[in-house]
Structure 1
Amino acid sequence: MQDFQVRYQPDGITCGPSCLGAVLDALIDNAPSTEEIAELCGTNPYTGTTDVAMKRGLKALGVSYTHPASEERRAPGFLDAALEDGNAVMLRTLVGGIKHWVTAHAVTPAGYSIACPVAGNVIWSREDTRAAWGARDYDCIIIPRVPSAHPELMRASIQESPEETGPLL
C-alpha cells in the first residue's frame, strides 16, 4: 500500500472521480485517469458525480465499498472507527455552498486528514468536518485500503491508452 496522495480535479465537476482515483492510486499501479473514472461514473456538468454515479464507477472498476445507512453514519465515533479500521472514507460535503467530495484517510489529534481534490492534503477539525459533512446528511462511501479486499478490481481491464488499444471498458 502506497502513501495516500491527493489527486487534484482537472475541472469543476470531477471531485468524486478525483477522490476515487486517489484511492485507486493507493491500491494499484497505473490506476485509470480521473477523466476515465468520470466517464465510467457518468459525471456530467449538470449533476457532477452523484452518489449513484459514484457507485456506478466503483462497480465498473470492481472496487469493494460500503455505503452505510443514515443511522449508522450518524452514530458517534462512526468516522473515527471507519478510519481506524484502515479504510478511506469518501465524504459528500457542502463547502462554501458547493457540493463537493473529499476523502478522509486518517484521524489526527487535530481532526481528520482530508484529501481534497481542490485544496490538497489538509487537516479538518472535527467541528469543520461535522459542519461540511453533516450538511449532506453525513453521506459517505467507505473503501477498504488493502488490495486484497477488492477481489474484482479490474487491473487488467483498465486500458492505459484507449487510442492504442480500443475503447475503454
Structure 2
Amino acid sequence: MAFLKKIGKVGGAANKDFALAVGIDEGGGKSSESGSSIRKSKSAYASCVKSGIIDDMTETFPTTSSGTQWSGFTDRVMGGRSDGNLAREQYRGREANVLRGHVSLENNGGFIQMATNLAQHQAELDTVDASSYDGLELDVVCKAQDEDHAQFNVQ
C-alpha cells in the first residue's frame, strides 16, 4: 500500500485495500503463497520514509515491503471479548491485508486493529521523520452489520 505520498506525486500502489479491522493475537494469520520463503536481511529493505511505500504486498505475509511486520490486536489484551483474524488474501481481484472479526462491547471492550511500525529498527521507533510527505493513502472497505456504528481511526 502506498500510504505515504510525496507532495504533488501519488504513490503507485493505490489499488490495495483493507476490510474489517481485527486481531492476529487470537490465532495465526493465513499466509499467501506469493513471495519467497527465503528471508532477506534487514539491510535489503528500503525504509518507507525513503521509498514512500509501507507495503506493496511483494513480501510474504506478514512482512511489509519496507521490512517491518503487520500484526493485529484486539481488546482481549485488556480483557475484552472481540476477536478476529488478519491475513493476506485476494479481495475483489486484488492482493490485500484483510482483517475480519467481531467487535464486542461486552466487558468494556470494543476494538480490533492492525498495525505495523514505520521504523525498521526498534531504536528508531520514536524518531521516524516522514515530514517530507503530505499524507497517507489507503483504501478501507467495511462490511459491518450495523454500518451506522462502524468507525475507523488511522494513527
Indicate the TM-score class for this superposition, using the shorter chain for normalisation.
under 0.3
Of structures 1 and 2, the larger Rg is shown by 2
Determine which structure has the larger helix proportion and give its number.
1
TM-score, normalised by the number of residues in structure 1: 0.25
Higher relative contact order structure (alpha carbons within 8 Å, sequence separation ≥ 6): 2
